[in-house]
């Protein structure tokens, strides 16, 4: 399912927000206790198309800024930038300033290689421009460099040789090959500073809130419903009170739910077989993994509770909507809390289920790490401060690989070297590798609390609270 999960598209390594679903994506690179992932690699691309008509362009009154970077004009009209990215403005808009880091943009974007379309925002967002907050470029040639050369109203073509990405050891999107050229077609609809955007969103939300509150009042009167209302504007009714204490932030709630529009049409459910995902939905409470209305509403419900949440659009998917949910749409959720666990308990259940399903014989440490030794090495166990050399492949429990130095698709073939016990890698690696003598091969199943936790690792497409599986080989152990 994952209509309640955060939708993040990776645009040439940059976080591209399609709809304001949940919050909590980590936009900063984890510091220190990060990963067995090489710092050089970040997932690359998925993107866009653009052309014609531009509506509601935001025009700034200050003088037109000079482009932030100079380039060399080519014979075909493109400007070649030092990074390797090339751009051509085919129609000039009326904007006065170029985007800056932190600005909020709206745009149409289309990414393709020859005739193969990799991303089309018009199709994704029903013809509407998609929002995007400008982040620092994550590699040389990132399309963000091209965006910063435009002003509101511009239509432009960008192109970047795939070889430029490969030379920087970046992960390629499936279908990308050496010698090909990524082509972006962009229409930059609007540019707002953070303060302008904040003011604009506040004014729109205030206006929409008054309209929706009137709709709620009418709906509750007609249907003889007497809900409770929170300070934020969330309405709810409880049909069956659960038992025990209220859930705490960080605990994982297992939820059965049906989501519907106010007029009654169901758009998602894990109890309706027509939606083909019957498992209870796990929600780490208060972590921004779901829409605000869920985070707030579920915090009011004990285990076993049945309730209905009436969620205004500002606490749901806002003005942008999501997938089959239009913007500014009130949502109603019938929910039942069927379990409340700590994140560690939830992870352990998922891991034990995985082990049983795959008939794996694994040992468990006191901290919750599971491991299986495939080949026993020789010699003493490594100690703190010794330099380890490791081959590895990292994947999710569903088999999706996110990093490897032995898989050529990840373009970094050197073993990973680091001192043990210095916090350079995740806790699961620190503990697991200390159990292996030189020459060992093993599999680690790392609970989220010993991996990237609630932040995840955006550069490697690892979501928050993800359990990770690593195939490792300890090649060498050197004294400090």
Active-site residue set: 257, 267-268, 291, 317, 333
Q: What is the CA radius of gyration of the chain?
A: 25
CB distance 121 to 19 below 8 Å: no
DSSP 471: E
CB distance 339 to 253 below 8 Å: yes
CB distance 24 to 289 below 8 Å: yes
Helix, strand, coil percent content, the chain, rounded in steps of 5: 20, 30, 50
Q: How many CB atoms lie within 10 A of CB 274?
A: 6
What DSSP element (H or E) covers 341? strand 331-341
What is the rounded CA–CA span in Å between residue 109 and residue 248?
Answer: 41
Q: How many CB atoms lie within 10 A of CB 28?
A: 8
Of 21, 29, 38, the closest CA to residue 402 belongs to 38
What is the rounded CA–CA span in Å between residue 457 and residue 338?
Answer: 29
Of 256, 473, 449, the closest CA to residue 350 belongs to 449
Q: Contacts for 160-167 with beta carbons within 8 Å, 24 or more apart?
A: 160/12, 160/84, 160/85, 160/86, 160/184, 161/84, 162/113, 164/83, 164/84, 164/85, 164/140, 165/12, 165/44, 165/45, 165/139, 165/141, 166/411
CB distance 269 to 335 below 8 Å: no
What is the rounded CA–CA span in Å between residue 331 and residue 212?
Answer: 11
Q: Left if phi > 0, otherwise alpha if psi is -120 to 50, otherwise beta: which for 73?
A: beta
- 224-261: buried (b, 16+ CB within 10 Å) or exposed (e) per residue? eeebeeeeebbbbeeeeebeeeebeeebbbbbbbbbbe
């Amino acid at each position: 399912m994952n209509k309640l999960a955060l939708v993040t598209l990776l645009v040439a390594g940059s976080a591209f927000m399609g709809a304001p679903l949940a919050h909590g994506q980590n936009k900063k690179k984890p510091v220190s206790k990060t990963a067995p992932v090489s710092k050089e690699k970040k997932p690359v691309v998925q993107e866009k198309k653009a052309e014609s008509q531009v509506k509601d362009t935001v025009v700034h009154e200050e003088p037109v800024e000079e482009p932030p970077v100079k380039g060399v004009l080519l014979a075909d009209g493109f400007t070649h930038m030092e990074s390797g990215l090339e751009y051509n403005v085919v129609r000039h808009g009326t904007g006065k300033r170029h985007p800056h880091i932190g600005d909020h943009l709206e745009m149409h974007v289309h990414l393709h290689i020859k005739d193969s379309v990799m991303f089309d925002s018009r199709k994704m967002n029903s013809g509407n421009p998609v929002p995007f907050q400008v982040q620092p470029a994550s590699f040389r040639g990132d399309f963000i460099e091209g965006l910063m050369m435009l002003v509101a109203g511009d239509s432009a073509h960008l192109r970047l040789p795939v070889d430029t990405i490969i030379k920087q050891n970046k992960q390629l999107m499936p279908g990308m090959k050496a010698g090909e050229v990524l082509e972006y077609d962009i229409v930059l609809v609007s540019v707002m500073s953070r303060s302008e955007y904040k003011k604009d969103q506040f004014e729109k939300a205030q206006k929409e809130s008054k309209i929706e509150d009137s709709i709620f009042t009418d709906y509750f009167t007609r249907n003889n419903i007497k809900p409770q209302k929170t300070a934020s504007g969330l309405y709810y009714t409880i049909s069956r009170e659960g038992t025990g204490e209220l859930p705490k932030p960080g605990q994982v709630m297992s939820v059965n739910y049906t989501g519907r529009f106010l007029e009654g049409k169901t758009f998602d459910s894990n109890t309706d077989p027509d939606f083909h995902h019957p498992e209870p939905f796990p929600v780490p409470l208060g972590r921004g993994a779901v829409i605000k209305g869920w985070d707030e509403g579920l915090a009011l419900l004990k285990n076993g509770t049945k309730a209905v949440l009436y969620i205004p659009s500002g606490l749901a998917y806002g003005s942008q909507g999501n997938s089959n949910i239009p913007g500014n749409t009130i949502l109603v959720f019938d929910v039942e809390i069927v379990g409340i666990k700590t994140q560690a308990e939830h992870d352990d259940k998922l891991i034990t289920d995985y082990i049983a399903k795959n008939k794996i014989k694994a040992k468990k440490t006191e901290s919750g790490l599971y491991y299986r030794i495939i080949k026993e090495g020789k010699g003493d166990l490594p100690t703190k401060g010794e330099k380890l050399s490791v081959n590895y492949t990292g994947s999710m429990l569903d088999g999706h690989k996110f990093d490897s130095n032995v898989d050529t698709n990840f373009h970094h073939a050197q073993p990973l070297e680091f001192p043990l016990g210095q916090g350079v890698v995740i806790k699961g690696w620190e503990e697991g590798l200390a159990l292996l003598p030189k020459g060992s091969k093993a599999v680690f199943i790392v609970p989220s609390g010993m991996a990237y936790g609630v932040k995840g690792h955006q550069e490697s497409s690892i979501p928050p609270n993800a359990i990770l599986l690593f195939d490792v080989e300890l090649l060498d152990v050197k004294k400090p």
